[in-house]
Amino acid sequence: MARTMLDKIWERHSILVRPDGATLLHVGRHLVHDGSRAGFRALAERGMRVRHPGRTFGTPDHYVSTRGHTLAAIPEPNRREMVSALAENAATQGFTLFGLGDVRQGIVHVIGPEQGITLPGLLMVCGDSHTATHGAVGALAFGIGASEVSHVLATQTLWQSRKPRAMRVTVEGMLGFGVTPKDVILAIIARIGAGGGSGHVIEYAGAVFRAMSVEGRMTVCNMSIEAGARAGMVAPDEAIFAYLKGRPFAPKGAAWDQAVASWRDLASDPGAVFDREITLDGAAIAPMATWGTSPEDAAPITGSIPSPALAPDADRREAMERALAYMGLEAGMAMQDVPIERVFIGSCTNSRIEDLRAAAAVAQGRRVVIPAMVVPGSGLVKQQAEAEGLDAVFRAAGFEWREPGCSMCVGMNGDLVAPGERCASTSNRNFVGRQGRGARTHLVSPAMAVAAAVTGRLTDVRTMMGGV
Amino acid sequence: MRKFETVEAVAAAMDMANVDTDQIIPARFLWRARAEGYGALLFNDIRSEADGSAKPDFVLNLPASAGAGVLVADRNFGCGSSREHAVWALSDAGFRVVIAPSFGDIFFNNSFKNGLLPIVLPEARCAEIRAALARNPGAKLVVDLEAQEVRGPLGINDGFRIDSFEIDPFRKELLLAGMDDIAFTLSQQGAIDAFEGRYAAEMPWL
Ligand code: SF4
């Protein structure tokens, strides 16, 4: 029978299936971060050790300071402890750590692919919902909770009560000038809703993804969870093999050839049946921005804020009204009239080198009019950006250039948006209070974030770049 | 983990869809140790004003919600991050059951690991129960896991009745036994070892 990529990876990792369908899955590689402390504690309480330290990789990201790349740069003892606990666990349990002071440290979802830890055909987990990012190379990767983290540490396995359903989102055609992967995923979520992928793993297919860079696919897969999906994935192709070849934890020599041969069989078979299919026209997607408090509250930058009166049902109407009240916005207002007071470029969605290049291309020769910062996704991204002179472009434009970490995406390290302040952010969540209590988040692409920083309002970057 | 026994508790209704984990427990509290308890922080930012005073109209601040053990919510409850603290906050605040039309996947999984039972009922039915609770503040629901039933308060019909729900047998078994899944998994060690041998042969590059 024709199988989907999800079927293939799932079956390859199934250890046993109970009569009721509950499946014990092997975890190919496990990623941990400074927020995984509870999982390690639970392991220690049982007096157990990490079963496969060689398949476990960690880096601190949520609690690290973006002002200095040392433990001492973290002023609060509680946060410092979260970071030092990871280092202690790595030392006692013997897994690989990319710690502070190591140029390879960064946001866990940036360094997984960067180091070649993330590989096609693997089942990967991490105690973080944006683990979906790793699906971009053709892995099945999803987030788990602290109890599950301790289960994986102890056994390298995970129980799933049933296989998720398969959903395919096909985007055909070609993206227009100035339209980026971030816009594609925001358009998809606006279409299917924040719960639209619930219970499913989304496979992204079609000409737009085939033509999209590997890093762009990561941006898309990253936000699968914002559509409610368990994971997102793209079938591996030559672009993926070229991206992974030579990375430190990717196979080498004869093993590489053997691996690539096996990865070529991963794509969903022709005729494989998906539980749900959605199709979008890539050419119809404009640069997007969110106006509300759910990623589904996204609209084209050329449009206006939708009216709750036109909501399909009472629930949605109330949710929209609540969102507009929180955001301090009125229905009918042009998206480009929304003022912006702060800009954050970073997060596991948009902090890779291509994101920084796209942002720098807009920042070049311009000046920001509001506070704005760039936080690279990893030390290696930062190093590369500096080698290309991007940091100089950002600094000259008035951006702060920081050390790698999650930073203002979630503010756990203290990089917060002030109450009531309106921030254009390249991150993935615009939830109430996500970037700080009372903070108002507008999700955008890196290029759109720079455009907003330069004008102090949401701006169609295409007009700035002479495209429209 | 404690055994899940039949719960009879005050039910509180929350009329918001997409209640995310950042609302259930804001990120700035996550470094706290599990032992310190998260109950007082449940829904912190929607429950209280910035100065810490309680918002009088938030459902859990109503006198009738005192001692609530069942939460009846709207679709996509617990969406967002993987933080298990969201489940801890609910369970530390005394909740044993959340009823909603759908849940964030990771929140749903996390709930079972902590003896919190997430129950999926149809969207329209959840709305009816929430409306019935609004008309009958402080009403108690009975959640019988063994029978897979949610029952309304005895003697009140007004929108309440017996609802059956589905649950995976494995999860039901673990909840009823209060059994921890690591222990169960370790009992499958033979199968795990055999699998790992095959897997390593199939993917020697790992
Ligand atoms: S960058 Fe944001 S979304 Fe990504 S792992 Fe860090 S906190 Fe989570």
pLDDT (tens digit per residue) in A359-417 = 999 999 999 999 999 999 999 999 999 999 999 999 999 999 999 999 999 999 999 99
Measure CB to CB from residue A38 to each of B18, B84, B109 and give the nearest one. Answer: B84
Which among B81, B108, B199 is the top mutation candidate for probing chain A, defined by the most A β-carbons within 10 Å of its own β-carbon?
Answer: B81
Q: Residue A240 CA to chain centroid, in angstroms? A: 18
> 3-state DSSP call for residue B8?
strand
ipTM of this predicted structure: 0.89
Span A188-209, average pLDDT: 96
Instruction: Tell me the per-residue pLDDT of B22-52, one tens digit each, with 9 for 90 and over.
Output: 999 999 898 888 888 999 999 999 999 888 8
A:79-108 residues touching chain B, CB 8 A cutoff:
79, 81-82
Instruction: Enter the tokens of residue A221.
Output: 């897969």
Q: In a 10 Å sphere around its CB, with 0-12 CB exposed, 13-18 middle and 19+ buried, how is residue A466 labelled? A: exposed
Long-range contacts of A79-84 (CB under 8 A, 24+ apart): A79/A412, A79/A413, A79/A414, A79/B31, A81/B31, A82/A34, A82/A35, A82/A37, A82/B31, A83/A34
Would you state the pLDDT for residue A196?
Answer: 94
The answer for A202, left when phi > 0, alpha when psi is -120 to 50, beta otherwise, is: beta
> 3-state DSSP call for residue A60?
coil
Measure the CA–CA gap between B121 and A32, rounded to whole angstroms.
34
A38: closest CA among B113, B32, B94? B32
Decide: B160 and B32 in contact? Cβ < 8 Å. Answer: no
CA-nearest residue, atom 6 of ligand 1: A406
Would you state the pLDDT for residue A309?
Answer: 96
Would you state the pLDDT for residue A274?
Answer: 98
Instruction: Tell me the per-residue pLDDT of A127-181, one tens digit each, with 9 for 90 and over.
Output: 999 999 999 999 999 999 999 999 999 999 999 988 999 999 999 999 999 999 9
Say whether A28 and B182 touch across the interface (CB within 8 A).
no
Nearest ligand 1 atom to the CA of A61 is 6
Say whether B23 and A46 touch across the interface (CB within 8 A).
no
> 3-state DSSP call for residue A329?
coil
pLDDT, mean over chain A: 97
Q: In a 10 Å sphere around its CB, with 0-12 CB exposed, 13-18 middle and 19+ buried, how is residue A177 labelled? A: exposed
Span B169-192, average pLDDT: 91
Fold topology of B7-202: Aconitase; domain 4 (3.20.19)
Span A87-91, average pLDDT: 98
Distance B100 CA to ligand 1 centre (A): 27
- pLDDT confidence tier of residue A467, bands split at 50, 70 and 90: low
pLDDT, mean over chain B: 94
**Cα Rg, chain B, nearest whole Å:** 19
Inform me whether the C-beta atom of residue A170 falls under 8 Å from chain B C-beta atoms.
no
Would you state the pLDDT for residue A259?
Answer: 98
Long-range contacts of A263-267 (CB under 8 A, 24+ apart): A263/A119, A263/A120, A263/A121, A263/A138, A263/A236, A264/A236, A265/A8, A266/A5, A266/A8, A266/A9, A266/A120, A266/A121, A266/A138, A266/A235, A266/A236, A267/A5, A267/A138, A267/A235, A267/A236
B100: closest CA among B84, B77, B80? B77
Inform me whether the C-beta atom of residue B196 falls under 8 Å from chain A C-beta atoms.
yes
Inform me whether the C-beta atom of residue A260 falls under 8 Å from chain B C-beta atoms.
no
Measure the CA–CA gap between B180 and B185, rounded to whole angstroms.
9
Instruction: Tell me the per-residue pLDDT of A223-234, one tens digit each, with 9 for 90 and over.
Output: 999 999 999 999
CA-nearest residue, atom 4 of ligand 1: A348
What is the pTM (predicted TM-score) of this model? Answer: 0.95
Instruction: Tell me the per-residue pLDDT of A319-344, one tens digit each, with 9 for 90 and over.
Output: 999 999 999 999 999 999 999 999 99
Write down the H helix ranges in A115-180: 146-155
* A468: pLDDT strictly greater than 70: no
- pLDDT confidence tier of residue A267, bands split at 50, 70 and 90: very high
Strand partners, A279: A170
Span B89-107, average pLDDT: 96
Instruction: Tell me the per-residue pLDDT of A28-52, one tens digit each, with 9 for 90 and over.
Output: 999 999 999 999 999 999 999 999 9
First to last CA, chain B: 35
Instruction: Tell me the per-residue pLDDT of A62-85, one tens digit each, with 9 for 90 and over.
Output: 999 999 999 999 999 999 999 999
Say whether B106 and A145 touch across the interface (CB within 8 A).
yes
| Cα–Cα distance list, A406 to A64, A224, B2 (Å) | 8, 18, 36
Distance A348 CA to ligand 1 centre (A): 6
Q: What is the dihedral of CA A70, A74, A79, A83, to 10 degrees?
A: 0
Inform me whether the C-beta atom of residue A195 falls under 8 Å from chain B C-beta atoms.
yes
Distance A420 CA to ligand 1 centre (A): 22
Would you state the pLDDT for residue A315?
Answer: 83
For chain B, give every domain's residue range.
Answer: 7-202
